[in-house]
Amino acid sequence: MNAKRRSVALLAAATPAESYFETPIRRIRAAAAAVAARRHWDVLMIVRRGSGIDDTEFASGLPAPIRSLRLVRTVEELDAAEGPFDLCVVCVRVVDEELLIKQVRERALAPLIVMWGWDNHHSRKRNLQISQLADLILPAHGYCAAYLLSPHTVMGGLVPLGSYQWSRATASALFARHRDRPRDNAIHGGFVSWRIAPERAAFVKRLCAGMRGHALRLVPGEGRMRYFERDPEERWLDWAAHKVGLILPFHKDLSTRFFDSLLTGQVPVVPEWCKDFDKIVGKAAATSLPVVRLAEETVPAVKAAWREAVERYDTDGAAGAERRHRYALENHHLVHRLAPLCAEIRALAAPDAVIETATGMGAVGSVLRRP
């Protein structure tokens, strides 16, 4: 067996190193088994900077075994939360989640804490600091998750992001209401000028200077809050007024912007360097939707992709927009990620679970292997 990976199933005569990894695994698997044994799960979900989430999404249609979901955005809301819950899911936005997890532990609000790494594609130091307080780590960006490996937690599989600023019911109603509204050819995209992503901001500036008739904009960090303060229908029309959306990743991630673009009927232009794209969407779906791939980070390449995307939109018009909308509505909302999240917990609790010690990106830790 590869020296980097040793299955927990082979620990009958454990070495000291293997025992070191086995002890936390036993505790975490016991907690997962206790949750998995329950018929119904009441879930506490913590999302800092979650003001943009339309939480009516969770009013109905929760996947089994989830019976209820309490969404908490602030310290004050967590203070007011009355447990116990069967499970706590912390959607880590690298704010101050370690303080909220500490409170969950101190108050025994939930026996199992899952870190869902919404922003694990940047701020590695902060992600590491927060992750050490969790039990199960589920990255939203799998291509760069190995640095989160730890002997004190278990790393599960990729659980990607999804659209969340409109619930499925709201999105369906808005699409139907504005289905026949004319769209313009201007390529659309609003990008926050984060200080830790100067390269993207510089590229957006080059695009704005080098292309005519675009609908791209670069906004300061506080502009994100102003956007989410707008009426949901106003936000929808900001997207649905355009045929094409440009998806520029923060790093190499596939962000919520992609799913919002599809949901509103746009043809997205997605860079080939979005690493998890093929795992989440796949080539067949990308062809049929369609999604136009961007090969180079240059102004001429974006212009060419833009032209192609407009042509692809015009080929089947409103029918194509509805196809993209339905695809996102039925597959890529935030609520759709809850079932695979539950599946990871059940896999961790299974008697035949295989957990290996793995290395990567300068880290060593325990990984749940799936068939």
Distances (CA, A) of 64 to 31, 87, 267: 19, 14, 33
HSE (side-chain half, CA atoms, 13 Å) at 158: 19
CA distances 92 to 55, 189, 362, Å, are 17, 25, 21
In sequence order, which residues have a C-beta less than 8 Å from that of residue 129 and are 6 or more positions away?
98
Half-sphere exposure for 94 (CA within 13 Å, toward CB):
13
Distance from C-alpha of 39 to C-alpha of 36, rounded to nearest angstrom = 8
In 3D space, the residue among 91, 94, 118 whose CA is nearest the CA of residue 196 turns out to be 94
d(CA 290, CA 312): 7
Please give the single-letter amino acid code of residue 251.
H
Q: Token pair of 93, please?
A: 């936005």
Contact call for residues 141 and 310 (beta carbons, < 8 A)? no
Contacts of 313 (CB under 8 A, 6+ apart): 183, 243, 244, 266, 267, 320, 321
Residue 172, CB-side half-sphere exposure with 13 Å CA sphere:
9
Give the tens place of pLDDT for each residue, 346-366.
999 999 999 999 999 999 999
pTM of the predicted protein model: 0.93
As a whole number, mean pLDDT of residues 342-349 equals 98
What pLDDT sits at residue 224? 79
Of residues 337 and 196, more confidently modeled: 337
Structural domains present in the chain: 8-162+334-369 (3.40.50), 168-331 (3.40.50)
pLDDT recorded at residue 254: 97
> In sequence order, what are the residues at sequence separation of 6 or more whose Cβ sits closer than 8 angstroms to the Cβ of residue 241?
181, 183, 184, 188
Q: What is the pLDDT of residue 6?
A: 42
Between CA 368 and CA 281 the distance in angstroms is 23
Q: How confident is the model at residue 15 (pLDDT cuts 50, 70, 90)?
A: low
Q: What is the pLDDT of residues 131-185, one digit of tens each?
A: 999 999 999 999 999 999 999 999 999 999 999 999 999 999 999 999 999 999 9
Could you tell me if 213 and 303 are in contact, meaning their C-beta atoms sit under 8 angstroms apart? no
Average pLDDT, stretch 248-266? 96
CA distance 118 to 127: 10
For 145, 153, 226, 246, 313, the CA distances from 316, given in Å and listed in that order, are: 39, 48, 34, 20, 6
Query: What confidence tens digit (pLDDT) does each residue in 88-111 have?
Result: 999 999 999 999 999 999 999 999
* Contact between 106 and 127 (Cβ < 8 Å): no
Residue count of the chain: 371
Is the pLDDT score of 195 beyond 90?
A: no
d(CA 367, CA 53): 30
For residues 364 and 145, give the distance between their C-alpha atoms in angstroms, rounded to a whole number.
12
Q: Are strands 363-369 and 66-72 parallel, antiparallel or unpaired?
A: unpaired
Average pLDDT, the chain: 94
Cβ-contact 248, 208 below 8 angstroms: no
According to the model, what pLDDT value does residue 5 have? 43
The token pair at 166 is: 């409109």
Report d(CA 178, CA 244) in Å as an integer. Answer: 16
Contact 170, 54 (CB under 8 A): yes
| 164 close to 57: Cβ distance less than 8 angstroms | yes
CB 187 within 8 A of CB 246: yes
